[in-house]
C-alpha cells in the first residue's frame, strides 16, 4: 500500500495553527470508526497495544514486531493518518533505527521516541527515570537517520516536567529540536504556567499528553503551538467494559435478543465496508447475467 498521501495530510495538519484531538484507536474497526466520525488523526498508544495485543499491563513486554503488525492492521483498514507511541524504540539507538524502519513500512504517519529509561531496570526505585540527555539525543538522531520517507513525522517525547522539572524539559526538547525532530511530545505537564513556560522556549509543534482536562482547551493550546492534544485512551477501555458486561450477562442467563447497546446491522455493514465486498462478489464470484 502507499502511505505518502496520509503522511502529507498529517504534516499539513500540524503545519496549521489549529490543535486537534486524535482518535485513540487500537484495531482496524476502531480506526474506521474514528475515520468515519471525522477525526483528522488516529493515535495508537503503547499501553493500549500491550492491552489489546497481549492483555498485559504497560510494562514494555510487547515486542516491536507485535506492535508494528498491529499498527499495519490499523493503517490498512482505511486512510486515517496514524500517530504511534513507539516507547523507547525497543532498545538502544540501533534498536531505534530498526523501530523506525518497521513502523514506516507498517504505514504510520508519525511516531514518537521517548527518553524514559525503559524497561524498568533491576533494583530501580518506583519512580521513573530518564536516560542521559546525550543518549536521548543519539536516539533522536538515529531515528531520523533511519527514516526513508521524508514525510514521516518523528517526535521526541519526554516526561521530564514530572520527573526532573521544567528547566530540564526545556533543555531536552531544545536538544531534540537541534537533532532534527519534527515535533516535541510533552507528557506529565500539569499546569498552564508550566506549559506556557515550556512552549515559549520551543520552536517545533507540540504534542501534549497526560494533561488534566482543564488544560485541554483547543483555542488556548493552539496559541501555544500545541497541534495534537491527547484525550486519554478511553475507547479501548469502554470496549473492554462493554464486552465484559455482555459476556457476564450471557453467562448469567440473559437472552442474547434482550441485550442493548450492541451494533446493529447498519453499523456493522458500515464498519466492515460490506458494500465493497458485495460489489467484489458480484464482479468476481457470480456468473454474468444472460441478456
Q: Per-residue pLDDT for 289 more than 90?
A: no
Cα-atom radius of gyration of the chain, to the nearest Å?
A: 21
Please give the model's pTM, rounded to 2 decimal places. 0.96
**pLDDT digits over 42-74, tens only?**
999 999 999 999 999 999 999 999 999 999 999
**Residue 119: cis peptide before it, omega within 30 degrees of 0:** yes
Give the model's pLDDT for residue 221. Answer: 98
Give the model's pLDDT for residue 174. Answer: 98
Domains and CATH numbers, the chain: 4-238 (3.20.20.60)
Q: Which three cell numbers stand for residue 189?
A: 505537564
Q: Which residues 6+ apart lie within 8 Å of 189 measured at CB?
A: 161, 162, 195, 198, 208, 210, 211, 215
Give the model's pLDDT for residue 288. Answer: 85
Give the model's pLDDT for residue 63. Answer: 98
Looking at residue 214, the DSSP 8-state letter turns out to be: G
**pLDDT digits over 261-286, tens only?**
899 999 999 999 999 999 999 999 99
Give the model's pLDDT for residue 124. Answer: 80
Give the model's pLDDT for residue 291. Answer: 63
Q: Helix axis angle, 192-201 relative to 166-179, nearest 10°?
A: 30
Q: Per-residue pLDDT for 132 more than 90?
A: yes
**pLDDT digits over 96-116, tens only?**
999 999 999 999 999 999 999
Residue range 234-238: mean pLDDT, rounded: 97
Give the model's pLDDT for residue 116. Answer: 97
Amino acid at each position: 500500500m502507499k502511505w505518502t498521501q496520509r503522511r502529507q495530510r498529517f504534516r499539513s495538519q500540524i503545519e496549521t495553527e489549529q490543535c486537534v484531538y486524535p482518535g485513540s484507536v487500537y484495531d482496524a474497526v476502531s480506526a474506521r470508526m474514528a475515520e468515519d466520525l471525522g477525526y483528522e488523526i488516529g493515535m495508537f498508544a503503547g499501553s493500549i497495544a500491550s492491552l489489546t495485543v497481549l492483555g498485559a499491563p504497560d510494562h514494555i513486554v510487547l515486542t516491536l514486531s507485535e506492535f508494528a503488525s498491529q499498527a499495519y492492521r490499523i493503517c490498512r483498514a482505511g486512510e486515517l493518518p496514524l500517530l504511534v507511541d513507539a516507547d523507547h524504540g525497543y532498545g538502544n539507538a540501533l534498536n531505534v533505527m530498526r523501530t523506525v524502519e518497521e513502523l514506516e513500512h507498517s504505514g504510520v504517519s508519525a511516531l514518537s521516541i521517548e527518553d524514559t529509561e525503559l524497561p524498568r531496570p533491576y533494583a530501580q526505585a518506583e519512580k521513573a527515570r530518564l536516560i542521559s540527555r546525550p543518549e536521548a539525543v543519539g536516539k533522536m538522531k538515529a531515528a531520523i537517520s533511519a527514516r526513508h520517507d521524508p514525510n514521516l513525522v518523528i517526535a521526541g517525547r519526554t516526561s521530564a516536567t514530572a520527573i526532573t522539572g521544567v528547566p530540564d524539559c526545556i533543555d531536552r526538547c531544545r536538544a531534540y529540536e537541534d537533532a532534527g525532530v519534527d515535533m516535541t511530545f510533552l507528557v506529565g505537564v500539569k499546569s498552564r504556567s508550566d506549559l506556557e513556560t515550556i512552549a515559549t522556549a520551543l520552536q517545533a509543534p507540540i504534542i501534549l499528553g497526560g494533561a488534566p482536562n482543564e488544560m485541554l482547551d483547543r483555542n488556548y493550546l493552539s496559541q501555544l503551538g500545541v497541534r495534537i492534544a491527547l484525550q486519554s485512551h478511553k475507547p479501548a477501555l469502554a470496549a473492554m467494559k462493554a464486552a465484559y458486561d455482555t459476556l457476564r450477562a450471557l453467562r448469567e442467563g440473559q437472552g442474547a435478543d434482550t441485550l442493548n447497546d450492541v451494533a446493529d446491522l447498519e453499523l456493522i455493514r458500515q464498519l466492515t465496508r460490506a458494500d465493497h465486498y458485495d460489489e467484489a462478489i458480484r464482479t468476481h464470484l457470480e456468473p454474468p447475467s444472460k441478456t
